[in-house]
Amino acid sequence: MVQMAGKPGSGKSTLARGIGAACEAVVLDKDVIKSAALNAGAEESLAGPLAYEVLFDLARSLLGMAQSVVLDSPAFYPQIVEKGRQLAADAGASYHVIECVCLDRDELARRLSAGERLRSQPRGLGQLVDAASLPGTAPFERPHLVVDTTRPDAECLRLALEYIGETRRLPG
Q: In the predicted model, what is the mean pLDDT of residues 11-31?
A: 96
Confidence of residue 107 (pLDDT cuts 50, 70, 90): confident
Confidence of residue 118 (pLDDT cuts 50, 70, 90): low
* pLDDT of 119 strictly over 70: no
**Distance between alpha carbon 106 and the CA centroid of its chain, in Å?**
21
Q: In the predicted model, what is the mean pLDDT of residues 47-73?
A: 96
Confidence of residue 78 (pLDDT cuts 50, 70, 90): confident
Calpha distance 109→49 (Å, rounded): 27
- DSSP string covering 33-80, please? HHHHHHHTT--HHHHHHHHHHHHHHHHHHHHHTT--EEEES---SHHH
Identify which has the larger pLDDT, 135 or 162. Answer: 162
Confidence of residue 110 (pLDDT cuts 50, 70, 90): confident
Identify which has the larger pLDDT, 172 or 20. Answer: 20
Identify which has the larger pLDDT, 22 or 110. Answer: 22
- Among residues 30, 71, 72, which one has the least CA distance to residue 47? 30
* pLDDT of 74 strictly over 70: yes
Confidence of residue 137 (pLDDT cuts 50, 70, 90): very low
Q: Kind of pairing, strands 145-148 and 96-101?
A: parallel
Residue range(s) defining the domain that contains residue 43: 2-169
Q: In the predicted model, what is the mean pLDDT of residues 142-165?
A: 93
* pLDDT of 140 strictly over 80: no
Identify which has the larger pLDDT, 130 or 145. Answer: 145
Number of domains, the chain: 1
Calpha distance 25→67 (Å, rounded): 7
For the domain that residue 17 is a member of, what is the CATH number? 3.40.50.300
